[in-house]
Structure 1
Amino acid sequence: MQSLFSRRTALALALTALAAPWAAAQRAPSAAAPWPTKPLKIIVGFPPGSSPDLTARTFSEPLAKALGQPVIVENKVGAGGNIGADAVAKARDDHTIGLMINGNMTIAKLINPAVPYDPLKDFAPLTLVGTSPLVLTAPVSQPGAAATANAREFLAMARSAGDQWSYGTPGVGTVGHIGTELLKSRSGINPVHVPYAGYPQVATAMLGGQLQMALLPPALAQAQVKAGKLRAIGVTSAGRSALAPDVPSLAEAGIQNFELEIWNAFAAPATMPKALQVRLATVLADIARTPEVRAKLFQQGWQVAGTSPEGLANRIKADTAALGQIIAQRGIKAE
């Protein structure tokens, strides 16, 4: 009887051991397994027509062609993109990725501890799509600022104005907000922060005389500059940018240790199998570097990067550290 029990136990253990690899294979598809098996979804945390939405849709057709499945762009709007980012972090179907802005992938948790995802743990970086500096802009004519002032003279007037000047941003904790606070710490200016719903509303407020300065994306800034309504003071990149080639960098105005860019990137849930992450990262980076997509992204206001996952991961870490420092210094918190 004991012998029969032992044989049955041994057989059961052997069957369990044989079944384990098969079960694991079902849970984690290999690179050779058919994939994708259904349409791929790109989640965007901003409304249709927004910059992240336009970028995602620029990729949707070539990505569908490369993968052999339709690609659907789904807008999950709210909380500065954090609702969409949280949906990406929690996706478990291995067919969902996100087109994210840098704020969602770096400082979201530093600004608001209640954000339900961890940017450094819950995402698998795929590729940094594009980067762009911001442009320090001001109304063409405003009290206390000469229309002919260069960047050095403008910043000197801003220092003299102290808190009598105001600057606008798309909201507390945005790159425009933190970047201006960084500029304040580097230049000695002290304008008061006024948050708005978005960059277009910031530009409108400047045109109406409610604001004296703001950091705007190049495409928006250049359109207003060409229309003669705003003037460009300087770009926030280390040197001049191809997106605004006629505008000097703030470094040329003597602002030291100041460099700021906005960027967008593709990320997958951290739970997506590594083989799928690698495949998606390669395909997306290749698409970003094609002449057609590169030209479209440039028109949208992006200098194409198309990095490896490691390149994006390094950028996330560097920006989190740099912007986190000014967040701590200034005590910036979500309202």
Structure 2
Amino acid sequence: MTFTLSRRSLLTAALAASCMATSAFAADNWPSKPLHLIVGFPAGSSPDLTARALAEPLEKALGQTIIVENKVGAGGNIAGEYVAKADDHTFSVMINGNMTIAKLLNPAVRYNPLTDLQPVSLIGVAPLVLVAPASAPEGKAFFDAAAKAGSKWSYGSPGVGTVGHLGMELLKSRSKLKPEHIPYAGYPQVFNGIQGGDLQLSMLPPALAMAQIQAGKLRGIGVTSAARSPLAPGLPSLKELGVNNYDLEIWNAVAAPKSMAKAHVERLAAAVGEIVRSPEMRARLAAQGWQAVGSSPEGLTNRIDADVKALGTIIKEQNIRAQ
């Protein structure tokens, strides 16, 4: 049987094919205008330095201008909310808290990172370093002394709901340590508290901790990552010291709004990953206190899920709320 198409049918089919081709070209033409890279912290901060280091090579990779914008406030959550509602030519460099537990710590936060943002790529990771006064014993001897002291010992953090606070509460839940929490205004004040004898332990970022350890002003006990870290050479993991099922790192990553198509998220992730793993970027991140990673969206999703499970449990059990 033979079918004959009318002239009108042929014209309709041609127009449909043309529209499909135009739509496909538009989809593949992303980004079609300058991209906005949002940072929730001030100029000169670690997330800002990372974003600006990424911007130039990303411009070359994506073929569009990238405008870095600082939207500061609420511990990075103002930027998180902005990105969650943005168009598909906006993305962000965020820290782990803004992509994981922001809503758990503060129900008033006006975005949900787990549903309103898309993970793109992990950039860098770093453990926290468990530190004590320089006169403290090392390794397992320190844990024995801390367990014996119980709540007579105190630890400091830069505030309720910070990773230093949550990390220590997680450690308490998985060990015999029971020190009391004393929140401070920031890490420098925590360091002064240890130096002054008001605190017996704390968890500090490696860039801050290692300088003081090497100067003989603090004792490094161990790192919170599952294995040893090149950012804290010579220090064992807490797992090596007998703390089971403990793996906690701080990290930064690229996030996108839900409005960005999956294909574009994957293209952005591939570009970010390649840049982050380059020797030049590895060196720049190491100078900022990060171990370069670069990951797929799925890899970052797995990291988010693990953090939410571990820290979310502590937040809910102890009803912790950010101040």
Equivalences, count: 311
Who is 2:99 aligned against? 105
* Structure 2 residue identity aligned to 1:189: L
1-structure distance, mates of 2:225, 2:146: 20
* Structure 1 residue identity aligned to 2:86: A
2-structure distance, mates of 1:235, 1:316: 20
Who is 1:255 aligned against? 243
Say whether residues 1:129 and 2:123 are aligned partners.
Answer: yes
Higher mean C-alpha deviation, range 107-116 or range 190-199: 190-199
- When residues 133 and 127 of structure 1 are mapped into structure 2, their CA distance, relative to the original with a 3 A threshold, is same
- When residues 77 and 208 of structure 1 are mapped into structure 2, their CA distance, relative to the original with a 3 A threshold, is farther
2-structure distance, mates of 1:245, 1:229: 17
2-structure distance, mates of 1:178, 1:43: 26
Relative to the length of structure 2, the TM-score reads: 0.88
2-structure distance, mates of 1:87, 1:277: 18
Q: How does 1:80-229 map to 2 (within 5 A)?
A: 80-92=75-87, 94-140=88-134, 147=135, 149-229=137-217
Who is 2:3 aligned against? none
* Structure 1 residue identity aligned to 2:27: S
Who is 1:281 aligned against? 269
1-structure distance, mates of 2:306, 2:209: 27
What SS is found at the alignment partner of 2:239?
Answer: helix
1-structure distance, mates of 2:277, 2:293: 8
Q: CA RMSD in A?
A: 2.5
Who is 2:66 aligned against? 71
* Structure 1 residue identity aligned to 2:107: P
CA deviation vs aligned residue, 1:6-30 (integer Å, no higher than 9, x gap): xxxxxxxxx9xx89x969x77x940
- When residues 199 and 43 of structure 1 are mapped into structure 2, their CA distance, relative to the original with a 3 A threshold, is farther
* Structure 2 residue identity aligned to 1:65: K
Who is 2:47 aligned against? 52
Measure how far apart 1:63 and its partner are. 1.2
What SS is found at the alignment partner of 1:266?
Answer: strand
What SS is found at the alignment partner of 1:251?
Answer: coil
2-structure distance, mates of 1:111, 1:22: 48
Contact 1:235/1:248 (<8 A) preserved: yes
Contact 1:29/1:273 (<8 A) preserved: no
Gaps of 5+ in 2: 1-11
Measure how far apart 1:274 and its partner are. 2.5
* Structure 2 residue identity aligned to 1:310: E
* Structure 2 residue identity aligned to 1:30: A
Contact 2:136/2:142 (<8 A) preserved: no
Contact 2:128/2:203 (<8 A) preserved: yes
Contact 2:159/2:183 (<8 A) preserved: yes
Give identity over the alignment, percent: 61
Contact 2:41/2:76 (<8 A) preserved: yes
Who is 1:9 aligned against? none
- When residues 334 and 70 of structure 1 are mapped into structure 2, their CA distance, relative to the original with a 3 A threshold, is same
Measure how far apart 1:139 and its partner are. 2.2
What SS is found at the alignment partner of 2:27?
Answer: coil
Gaps of 5+ in 1: 1-14, 141-146
- When residues 276 and 182 of structure 1 are mapped into structure 2, their CA distance, relative to the original with a 3 A threshold, is same
* Structure 2 residue identity aligned to 1:172: V
1-structure distance, mates of 2:183, 2:49: 24
What SS is found at the alignment partner of 2:245?
Answer: coil
* Structure 1 residue identity aligned to 2:133: P
